[in-house]
A and B are shown apart, each in its own frame.
Chain A
Amino acid sequence: MRYPPGDLAIWIFILAELVVFAAFFAAYAFTRMNNVELFNEFQQQLDQRAALINTLALITSSYFVVRAVSAIREDNRRHCVVWLLAALAMGALFLIVKMGEYQHHFIVEGVSLSTNTFYMFYISLTFFHFMHVIMGMVILAAVVVMAAKGKYSAAEHTGVETGASYWHMVDLLWLIIFPLVYVMR
């Protein structure tokens, strides 16, 4: 194969998105240089357990999507739909846990973008990612609807692969955000 699975258009889009996040990651790491104590202090305020659950949720979700793609490659439409729904459920779990985290920080602690540089990065990075999870779920939901209507088959399933590629990117981004923002100090 010379091209990645799915529509090439989504890949160009994925690349552009990855570049934006890469810039944010580097900015985080280099800003931390001049604010080590601040970053270390407020990193400990974050909910490690929630981050673990969310990482597991996204990885599992990604795995389910892989299974959905292999199901449709074997022409098994019903399994494809079931795996995708399971993936969506994992995405929903991510959103719920994340909202719990936000509720704690924003409402209980009264944190905002202006609180300090660490929280500025924490909120920006996780919130942009949060929006991507929602976006990815919208795409996956559209794929589920099309799959349920029987639009995909072993011969033609570019749509499933396109949605899958985007969803894996959402997972990929979180795999870096998790250690960078929650663990590394």
Chain B
Amino acid sequence: MKYKSQSVAKLYFIAAIALFVAQILFGLIMGLQYVVGDFLFPTIPFNVARMVHTNTLIIWLLMAFMGAAYYLIPEEAETELFAPWLATLMFWIFLAAAGATVAGYLLFSYSDLAELTMNELLPTMGREFLEQPTITKIGIVVVVLAFLFNIGMTILKGRKTSINLIMLLGLVGLAVFFLFSFYNPVNVVRDKFYWWWVVHLWVEGVWELILGAMLAFVLIKVTGVDREVIEKWLYIVIAMVLITGLIGTGHHFYWIGTPDWWQWWGSIFSAMEPIPFFMMTVFAFNMVHKRRREHPNKVATLWALGTAVMAFLGAGVWGFLHTLSPVNYYTHGTQITAAHGHMAFYGAYVMISLAMISYAMPLLRGRNAANPAKSQVLEMWSFWLMTVSMVFITLFLTGAGILQSYLQRVSDNPMPFMVVQEQINLFYWLREIAGLVFLIGLVLYVASFFVGQNEPEAVVADR
């Protein structure tokens, strides 16, 4: 850690990991509810578990992105953070808002929560992933604005690097597109149309810029490859993301009531979305291959390479599987979507967050470069357990999705939804078991922060 104010990132990272644990627990609850319908009913109904599972994911990723920004932006700008106190204050506001929102989901019925938070003054609730009460959404905007102001001023007063500019561009985009969550037209087609401007343009647009910047930062640090080389790659990847991702939004407009030419635009442009992910994979392995130093933090490098591979598989390949409109006609909204969602979020955004945490946390905790070998080995175990179990979750859900599409939509005698759900029961059980393995991985991950505290730092063997 080069600048004192970077230490604010630690708060964000700790909260991110805590929310990550909550997300997985609720994932397991709803995973079980798929097969044991009344599990925990009526305390935690399926819709509430699902809401908590997805919302905590979004919040903890935002926490991790902010933490990453507070860590990497001062270091890149070569100056202290503009206002460290503001970052700390915003952290507590954000955490309180997130905690209150989750508590609201769990303690009240959703309609009571809407009434309690005076949703009718500015109705924004009731839409998938944007379920947060309006007051929470306003809180998010305030936090993000203060955050952007803080890092923006830091960049202005310091060195301007490509990584910082792309990180800032991604985060500004994140803020701008979130504003569409306040637009809630009566017309259902319009509603869905702009809903995707938040959801798609986040995860398949501006978040990828954040991902690119974070990956580039970690790779510069662990490989020692020239900044110029890495930045050039970053620019190509980003350009491709924007070309394919922006118009690629069209792959959500096939069946919602928009003109049919979206089927062409959406299919062709989104079919190219794997390209930037593939470039990212080539890029990461290339840089590690060309490394000019052996960094003692092996596990951070592992996470970075893992991101590159899993993001390509999850976002690129699994996205491509059902992005063409003639295919999507049958697979839309089936478990194929769930399979893609799981591996893409894990591979792209969870793993890059963990890569960043893995690189920064030892430094934030006062190490010179890396954790002791014992702790790193445990973290590597957690890497493999989580990653492999996520691959299995994805495969089981894909199996479920293929069967579901066939039985429900392709076969000569299509079956009703609930009948099909019973047919694919086995896949759901297998998915739940894989989910338990994921939880074990996560427990090991958390444990890796506490093991081997008093042992000496890992050092590199001579090359």
Contacts and interface: CB of A to CB of B under 8 A. Distances in A.
Given A113-B259, A114-B260, A124-B265, A19 B275 contact: yes
Interface stretch (A8-16, A43-51, A93-101, A144-152): A8-16
Contacts of B271: 23
Contacts of B259: 113-114
Nearest to B260: A114
Contacts of B268: 20, 23-24, 27
Contacts of A120: 261, 264
A20 B236 contact: no
A20 B235 CA distance: 19
Contacts of B243: 16-17, 20
A124 B265 CA distance: 8
A13 B264 contact: no
Given A9-B232, A23-B268, A16 B240 contact: yes
Contacts of A113: 259, 261
Contacts of B240: 13, 16
B141 interface: no
A23 B233 CA distance: 25
B264 A9 contact: no
A121 B271 CA distance: 17
Contacts of A24: 268
A128 B233 CA distance: 25
Interface string B236-267: 10011001100000000000000111001100
B272 A124 contact: no
Contact of B236 (A12, A121, A124): A12
Given A113-B259, A113-B261, A124-B261, A13 B269 contact: no
B279 interface: yes
A114 B258 CA distance: 10
Nearest to B262: A113
Contacts of A12: 236, 279
Interface residues of B, number: 19
Contacts of A124: 261, 264-265
A26 to B, nearest CB: 10
Nearest to B240: A16
Contacts of A23: 268, 271-272
Contacts of B239: 13
B236 A13 contact: yes
B269 A20 contact: yes
B363 to A, nearest CB: 32
B250 to A, nearest CB: 11
A27 B236 CA distance: 26
Interface string A1-39: 000000101001100110110011001000000000000
Interface in A68-104: none
Contacts, number: 39
Contacts of A121: 264
Contacts of B233: 9
B235 A9 contact: yes
A16 to B, nearest CB: 5
Contacts of A20: 243-244, 268-269, 272
A120 B239 CA distance: 26
A182 B239 CA distance: 31
A82 B287 CA distance: 41
B154 to A, nearest CB: 28
B169 to A, nearest CB: 18
A9 B239 CA distance: 11
Interface string A135-161: 000000000000000000000000000
Contacts of B235: 9
Contact of B275 (A7, A9, A16, A27): A16
A114 B279 contact: no
Most interface-central of B260, B261, B271 (chain A CB within 10 A) = B261
A23 B272 CA distance: 10
A117 to B, nearest CB: 9
A24 B264 CA distance: 9
Nearest to A24: B268
Contacts of A114: 259-261
Contacts of B269: 20
Nearest to B232: A9
Contacts of A13: 236, 239-240
A41 B12 CA distance: 62
Nearest to A15: B275
A16 B241 CA distance: 11
Contacts of A19: 272, 275
A156 to B, nearest CB: 16
A23 to B, nearest CB: 5
Given A9-B235, A114-B260, 10 more contacts: A9-B236, A16-B243, A17-B243, A20-B244, A20-B269, A23-B268, A24-B268, A120-B261, A124-B264, A124-B265
In the A-B complex, list the 4 residue pairs whose CB atoms are closest, starting with the nearest.
A113-B261, A120-B261, A114-B259, A23-B268
13 contacts: A7-B232, A9-B232, A9-B236, A16-B240, A16-B275, A19-B272, A20-B269, A23-B268, A114-B259, A114-B261, A120-B264, A124-B261, A124-B265
